[in-house]
Every structure is written in structure tokens, then in C-alpha cells.
Amino acid sequence: MELIKLFDEAIEKYHSETDKLRFLPQNRYNTVLFPLSGQYDWLSGQLLYCLIRHLRPIRVIEISTNAGYSGLFSALALKANGFGRLETFELMP
């Protein structure tokens, strides 16, 4: 139940900011920007953005970056927080 409460708080507080990210799904299948098509979708990206804004981590570590779509949401949230570092690792080159 605590996790659902955390999601609710994060979405309520930061959802309005995701409007400025609407350019991301428009480019989701752009093979120049995202050469590999991953499994990340717009709803998951919004949730990730809101959670990072809400939790305000110093570091976000992403394993298996793939095309970097979720990394964009993470980086934009960290930028909006005014601090933080995104580290990504691709296990399958």
C-alpha cells in the first residue's frame, strides 16, 4: 500500500510537468533518435519522471539502457530537480 501512496503523491504533485515532455512519444519510433525500439511507453515514462521529481535522488542508475528512451525521462527529471546524476550501463552491446 505504501508504494501506491508514493505513486499517487508523485503523480499528483508533478503530473502537470509532463505536458512539456509531449515531444518524446512523437519521436518514440524515430529510428534516428532511437535506433532500437524498446519496451518503454509514455505512461511508464511519465511515472518515472514524476517519481524522480518527487524522490529527488542524487544518482539514478539505469541498467540496460537500450535506446535511451527511459533515460531521457530520467535526465529531464534530474534537470528539473536542479541536481543529480544519471549513470547508464548497457549489458548487451
Predicted pLDDT of residue 22: 78
Predicted pLDDT of residue 36: 57
Provide φ and ψ at 76, rounded to 5°: -65, -35
Predicted pLDDT of residue 56: 98
The C-alpha cell that represents 93 in the structure block? 552491446
Q: What is the CA radius of gyration of the chain?
A: 13
In the chain, where are the structural domains located?
A: 2-24+37-89
Predicted pLDDT of residue 69: 79
User: What tens-digit pLDDT sequence spans the chain (93 residues)?
Assistant: 698 999 899 999 999 998 888 777 666 656 565 555 555 677 888 999 999 999 999 999 998 877 777 898 999 999 999 999 999 988 876
Task: Count Cβ neighbours within 10 Å for each residue of 25-47 and write b for 16 or more, e otherwise.
Answer: eeebeeeeebeeeeebebeebbb
Query: Measured between alpha carbons, how far is residue 26 from residues 6, 22, 49, 73 in Å?
Result: 28, 7, 17, 14
| Residue 52 CB neighbour total at 10 angstroms | 23
